[in-house]
Amino acid sequence: MKRIAFLDGFRGVAIILVVLYHAYVRYPESVPYGDRFTGVILFKEGLLGVQLFFLLSGFVILMTLQKTRSYLEFLKKRWLRLFPAMLIVTVILFPISQFLPERPKGVPDWVDLIPGLTFIDPTWIELFTKSKVDELEGTFWSLYVEVKYYLFFGGMYFLFGKRKAIAGIFGLYLLWVLSRILIKVGVITPDHLFSIVIAIEILSLKHFGWFAAGSLAYLYYTSKELKYLILATIVGSLAILSLGLASWSSVFIASTILAVFLGTIYFDGLKQLFDNRFLVFFGFISYPLYLIHENTMIAWITRLDRVFDMPDILLPAIPILVLIAAAYVIAKFLEPAVLKLLKKIV
């Protein structure tokens, strides 16, 4: 499937936000500068780059489904999209991690490779095996969300069609919203939590509103019917509820991300802002960089501080540049080679 340049630009924005969040805010107990940069709003709210990824997935997955003949073919396509980079990153990170005790997640065991390589949420594995399972990287959590979305949306798409599938995904999100309201007003008590709320939580329904908004944006992109853009705006605005309303900065940044994305879909002139070499490059390497950066980056920041006397703001620079280079090699050379091999097998 041909890549759409401005979407890669948005992927670039998303990965830059996430990397900056992890570098400067996520681990104050591990980095030498502690919580010094937590007041910088783009660092503090950088994790919202993941919501942008979900918004983009809603757009792209519907496009993929319309070019797919069956549910199984769709799932195969998604597996071939996700697995090669995951396999490569696992092969690279696992041996390196054995020599990086400074990693926030510590030194992983072999069993910790299972969630990433299978794309199965470790919560599910623990639920059914009663055994504690960790994961190689904390960033993998969003992939488990993506896979749950693929299973639900793909199934509903082939059973009911695209519009009902989008409504179904949004309905599942509203189910999560309802569960939060019922807990807040005391209708659901702790005695009910396992059977009701936990079931909703482990399905990751709280993120499904972003996917629905992205799919509606795609319908507008292909049909130019204004009703879909209006619906995308409404659904996306409601999706912001999943962040909670305690932090005004979270709501502000999330609203800005949604407005800029939908504005770019509507105004062709805005596409040029994201269709540029810098952002498109980061969009191209976004998936392997997302997989590989978190714990290794923090460990290297800690080690660099012991060796070099550098300004705190610059400490993450060298680890980030090395990881960008590694992600490029993976995306440009290793991932296509593994994909080619896997296609011959499956």
- What local confidence, expressed as pLDDT, does residue 184 receive? 82
Least confident of 13-22, 42-51, 178-187, 288-297: 178-187
Res. 189: pLDDT tops 80 = no
Question: What is the maximum span of the chain, computed from C-alpha positions, in angstroms?
Answer: 61
Least confident of 128-142, 158-172, 239-253: 239-253
- What local confidence, expressed as pLDDT, does residue 128 receive? 86
What is the average pLDDT across 250-263?
Answer: 96
Instruction: Using pLDDT thresholds of 50, 70 and 90, give the confidence band for residue 245.
Output: low
Q: How is the chain split into domains, by residue range?
A: 5-345
Distance of CA 219 to the CA centre of its chain: 22
High-pLDDT (> 90) share of the chain, %: 88
**What tens digit of pLDDT does each residue of 81-93 get?**
999 999 999 999 9
**What tens digit of pLDDT does each residue of 25-38 get?**
999 999 999 999 99
**What tens digit of pLDDT does each residue of 308-322 get?**
999 999 999 999 999
